[in-house]
A and B are shown apart, each in its own frame.
Chain A
Amino acid sequence: MFDVNEIRKDFPMLNGKMMHGQPLIYFDNGATTLKPQMVIDTVCDYLTNYSGNAHRGDYDLSHEVDEQYENAREIVKNFINAKRKEEIVFTSGSTDSLNLVAYGYGKTHLHAGDEILLTVAEHASNTLPWFDIANEVGAVIRYIELDEQGRLTLDNVKKAMSDQTKILAIAEVTNVLGYKAPMKDICAYAHEHGAIVVADGAQSVPHQKTDVIETDVDFLAFSGHKMCGPTGVGVLYGKYDLLCETKPTRLGGGSNSRYNSCGVVTLKNPPYKFEAGTPNIEGVIGLGSAITYVSSLNMNDIEAYENELRAYCIEKMKALDNVDIYNIDSTGAIAFNIKGVFSQDAASLFNTYGIAVRAGQHCAKILDEFLHVSSTLRVSFYFYNTKEEIDQFIEVCKKGDDFLDAFFG
């Protein structure tokens, strides 16, 4: 197991960054994560020392860029245990990846009457593209019921599936409730019944070991910035055959092998047909570096340590009588409210103590139908957080009634 105090030295923002006059305690890792020096250096190295274009020039510089860019693809492939690197498409993030599946695959494969299964805990990015596609092709959106705790279970998947079900679009770990979906079982059941599974991995891939061969998931979307990488870069993993059947949603330079004035276009093979235009080269190379960094800590150890942090925090929160917790036994983010305090007001109070905590609906705007509260606070940890930070957070929870102090602090 890694030493968290050693790890923290790698993050400039954990060494001197102040918020509201206090050392920053960053508990909004579900939104984005802090960057280690290694990633910053990798991005700067590209910008400083070899900032040419990829897949273009016939000179050494461009070749060097190509090597680094494709090396990042290899790193991602190994990280999620994909069969081949051509199954790794670089996108601008999870949202972009999910849109690519919806418009590039869903739109060309769904027919009127086909069903798309979601849950009410899905993020807007795994909901709105499907609403739009359903409208366009006449498909039907249905919801897999969550169990009492808010979990997605295989039993409820079975109940929701019908002969018309063609696509299940579900988060591997949901962004507010944080429960882990039994992906392997769900994929096996879906495949037996002729459906494919699109997984939103934005909140899972950064926090646990990912193995797309073991789960047999068909598409998996995730973002770089939620795992110590730069913003504006992410990945769509897709089984190679499915990527071949997926239509690019953007066309242009780099995605075609030839075309003529009659409009006959020959596209490249995946993943290149999806990467039209100059890609986010420093982002991709930075993502490779971020994956190298988190892998060096061991994903299983990261998961174990975060579970330990969460359990510690939950125990302390349970001892407070002014806190409502909505997902005590989950493993991801903690969704809660301070009794009688509007979430936005409480978040301001935490801000006053230098603690970054998210308030609101967290881009899951139909989850309130399940939780019966319109908004919540959310704390989400990463491997660089500590129990000492949690202790300070707990002290501020106790001050909840004084939330207006924040306004005058």
Chain B
Amino acid sequence: MHSLDNPQILREIIMDHYENPRNRGLVEDDSYKKVNMNSDTCIDDLDIQVKFDGDVIEDVRYDGEACAICTSSTSIMSELVIGKTKEEAMEIVENYMNMIYEKDYDEDLLEEAIAFKNTHKQANRIKCATLGWNGLVKLIEESEE
């Protein structure tokens, strides 16, 4: 069996990022752009910060109150996009969203984020699994304006 098809491994990835979220905690620094993302239907509520260096995403931070799926998906997102250009990051996001919505995607680009490939089976969790990612998109789009 392909290790990425092993639910136990996917599960451990999510638990690891839930219990030890990477890049968590906001910074007091005006050079970061910030957005609040909260779900209308559940309690997930995260502030997300991104620091751009020209075209490159230099840092991503986030904090707030969120469930396991929301916290871990945001943590993984932060690791994936730090150091990438906006364009590279957007390609990762696009593939992630394709995976979430059951379209074709390139799993090599997603690394640990493939842990969320079963999200569609619990449709009510799609919002949790995309909240942080949508926050990133919003900040990238705002930085282009």
Partners in one complex: yes
Asked if A94 is an interface residue, CB under 8 A from chain B, the answer is no
User: In the assembly, what is the distance between CA of A406 and CA of B15, in Å?
Assistant: 13
User: In the assembly, what is the distance between CA of A403 and CA of B7, in Å?
Assistant: 13
Q: Which of B54-69 contact A (CB under 8 A)?
A: 65-69
B23 to chain A, nearest CB (A): 20
Asked if B122 and A342 make an inter-chain contact with CB atoms under 8 angstroms apart, the answer reads no
Contact pick for A344, options B10, B15, B44, B118, CB 8 Å: B44
Q: Mark A387-409, 1 if CB is under 8 A from B, else 0.
A: 00000000000000001111111
With a cutoff of 8 Å between Cβ atoms, the chain A residues found around residue B66 in the complex are 342
Asked if B27 is an interface residue, CB under 8 A from chain A, the answer is no
Asked if A404 and B11 make an inter-chain contact with CB atoms under 8 angstroms apart, the answer reads yes
Contact pick for B67, options A344, A351, A361, A409, CB 8 Å: A344
Asked if B118 and A342 make an inter-chain contact with CB atoms under 8 angstroms apart, the answer reads no
User: In the assembly, what is the distance between CA of A76 and CA of B123, in Å?
Assistant: 39
Asked if B65 and A408 make an inter-chain contact with CB atoms under 8 angstroms apart, the answer reads no
With a cutoff of 8 Å between Cβ atoms, the chain B residues found around residue A342 in the complex are 66-68
* Interface band, chain B: 20 to 34
With a cutoff of 8 Å between Cβ atoms, the chain A residues found around residue B68 in the complex are 342, 345, 403-404
A404 to chain B, nearest CB (A): 5
Asked if B15 and A407 make an inter-chain contact with CB atoms under 8 angstroms apart, the answer reads no
Q: Which of B4-40 contact A (CB under 8 A)?
A: 7, 10-11, 14-15
User: Given A344-B67, A345-B68, A407–B118 Cβ distance below 8 Å?
Assistant: yes
Q: Mark B101-125, 1 if CB is under 8 A from A, else 0.
A: 0000000000000000011011011
Asked if B10 and A360 make an inter-chain contact with CB atoms under 8 angstroms apart, the answer reads no
Asked if B14 and A344 make an inter-chain contact with CB atoms under 8 angstroms apart, the answer reads no
Q: How many residues of A contact B (CB 8 A)?
A: 19
User: Given A403-B68, A407-B69, A348–B43 Cβ distance below 8 Å?
Assistant: no
B89 to chain A, nearest CB (A): 25
Asked if A375 is an interface residue, CB under 8 A from chain B, the answer is yes
User: Given A404-B15, A404-B68, A407-B14, A344–B7 Cβ distance below 8 Å?
Assistant: no
Q: Which of A347-406 contact B (CB under 8 A)?
A: 348, 351-352, 359-361, 374-375, 403-406
With a cutoff of 8 Å between Cβ atoms, the chain A residues found around residue B119 in the complex are 407
User: In the assembly, what is the distance between CA of A261 and CA of B11, in Å?
Assistant: 71
Asked if B43 and A361 make an inter-chain contact with CB atoms under 8 angstroms apart, the answer reads yes
B74 to chain A, nearest CB (A): 14
B107 to chain A, nearest CB (A): 17
Contact pick for B121, options A374, A403, A409, CB 8 Å: A409
Asked if A348 and B7 make an inter-chain contact with CB atoms under 8 angstroms apart, the answer reads no
User: Given A360-B42, A360-B43, A361-B43, A348–B11 Cβ distance below 8 Å?
Assistant: no
Measured CB to CB, the nearest residue on chain A to B42 is A344
User: In the assembly, what is the distance between CA of A359 and CA of B67, in Å?
Assistant: 11
Known A359-B42, A361-B43; 6 more pairs at CB < 8 Å = A345-B69, A351-B122, A375-B43, A404-B15, A407-B122, A407-B125
What are 13 sample pairs from A and B whose C-beta atoms fall under 8 A apart? A342-B68, A344-B44, A345-B69, A348-B122, A348-B125, A351-B122, A360-B43, A374-B43, A404-B14, A404-B68, A407-B121, A408-B118, A408-B121
